[in-house]
């Protein structure tokens, strides 16, 4: 498990340095066009470096229905694009945490928050399998093309459940396969780091969310890719009585 995380960390450390220096593109996976998920108007005010470092597969704050005052965590926050978008939506009475394990990403994200003048954000170093957040400390968990990268998805979903307040919601963009992948098929598709080899199927995702305690778990594909691993949005809720 640590080998996969080390490979993923090294991959994204290099990618973000290339992305912000203009020598490479971001993007989760080989063929996605990263900023195309965002409305131009939505990202117009963000620092150029935050847009350059965007490596997601969707637009989680577009489906999160964030309200002023809410507390949000972004799992695998990268260069910070979704943290900054969420920060604008929850406003000065809200708070947004970004959690990432890659020092280079955290440095870019913190610089972007400073450029944007975002006072209600905080980036914490950590792994999403063991979140550096207290129990029941956020209202919403977002994430963008990260959970597929984890070698221990049950731990990630259990941690998302733990840090959510009762009644809180998970609103995630990820890449998801249309059928369970065998080890051989995973090896054919590519590495975890390239955002395909570690994908869950939609059925596996709903099953793991339900086992973690979530209700109303649903996966919706948002685009089609010929390799069977598609961009998708994932929604689930922590019951109020949990």
For position 76 contacting ligand SAM by CB under 6 A, the verdict is yes
CB of 200: closest distance to ligand SAM in angstroms?
Answer: 14
| Cβ atoms of residues 96 and 82 within 8 Å | no
Beta bridge partners of 230: 176
CB of 5: closest distance to ligand SAM in angstroms?
Answer: 5
* SS3 state at 220: strand
For residue 117, what are the contacts with CB-CB under 8 A and spacing of at least 6?
none
Q: Nearest Cα to 176, choosing from 154, 195, 151, 157?
A: 195
Per CB under 6 A, the segment of 8-16, 63-71, 84-92, 209-217 that binds ligand SAM is 8-16
DSSP string for residues in 197-229: TTPEEHHHHHHHHHHHT-EEEEEEE-S--TTSE
For position 56 contacting ligand SAM by CB under 6 A, the verdict is yes
* SS3 state at 100: strand
For position 146 contacting ligand SAM by CB under 6 A, the verdict is yes
Q: Which residue has the tokens 């990630």?
A: 156
Per CB under 6 A, the segment of 88-96, 116-124, 145-153, 220-228 that binds ligand SAM is 145-153
Site for ligand SAM in 157-176 (CB under 6 A): none
Which of 111/242 has CB closer to ligand SAM?
Answer: 111
CB of 239: closest distance to ligand SAM in angstroms?
Answer: 26
Q: Nearest Cα to 115, choosing from 169, 168, 52, 49?
A: 49
For position 144 contacting ligand SAM by CB under 6 A, the verdict is yes
| Cβ atoms of residues 57 and 37 within 8 Å | yes
For position 78 contacting ligand SAM by CB under 6 A, the verdict is yes
CB of 167: closest distance to ligand SAM in angstroms?
Answer: 25
List 86, 101, 118, 163, residue binding ligand SAM (CB under 6 A) = 101
Tokens of 93: 């009475």
Site string for ligand SAM, 123-142 (x = CB under 6 A): ----xxx-------------
CB of 241: closest distance to ligand SAM in angstroms?
Answer: 30
Site for ligand SAM in 170-229 (CB under 6 A): 195
For position 81 contacting ligand SAM by CB under 6 A, the verdict is yes
Helix, strand, coil percentages for the chain (3-state, nearest 5): 40, 25, 40
| Rg of the chain taking only CA atoms, in angstroms | 16
Residues that bind ligand SAM (CB under 6 A): 5, 8-9, 12, 28, 54-56, 76-79, 81-82, 100-102, 105, 127-129, 144-146, 149-150, 195
């Amino acid at each position: 498990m640590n080998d996969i995380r080390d490979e993923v960390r090294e991959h994204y450390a290099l990618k973000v340095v290339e992305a912000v220096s203009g020598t490479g593109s971001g993007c989760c996976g080989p063929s996605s066009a990263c900023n195309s998920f965002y409305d131009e108007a939505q990202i117009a005010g963000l620092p150029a470096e935050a847009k350059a470092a965007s490596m997601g597969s969707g637009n989680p704050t577009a489906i999160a229905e964030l309200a002023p005052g809410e507390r949000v965590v972004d799992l695998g926050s990268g260069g910070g694009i979704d943290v900054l978008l969420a920060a604008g939506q929850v406003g000065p009475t809200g708070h947004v945490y970004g959690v990432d394990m890659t020092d280079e990403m955290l440095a870019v994200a913190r610089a972007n928050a400073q450029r944007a003048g975002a006072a209600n954000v905080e980036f914490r170093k950590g792994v999403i399998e063991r979140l550096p957040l207290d129990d029941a400390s956020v209202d919403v968990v977002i994430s963008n093309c990260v959970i597929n990268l984890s070698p221990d998805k049950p731990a990630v979903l259990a941690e998302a459940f733990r840090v959510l307040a009762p009644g809180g919601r998970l609103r995630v963009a990820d890449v998801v396969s249309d059928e369970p992948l065998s080890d051989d098929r995973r090896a054919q598709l590519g590495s975890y780091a390239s955002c395909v080899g570690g994908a869950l199927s939609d059925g596996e995702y709903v099953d793991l969310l339900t086992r973690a305690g979530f209700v109303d778990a649903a996966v919706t594909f948002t685009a089609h890719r010929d390799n069977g691993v598609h961009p998708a949005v994932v929604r689930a809720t922590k019951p109020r009585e949990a």
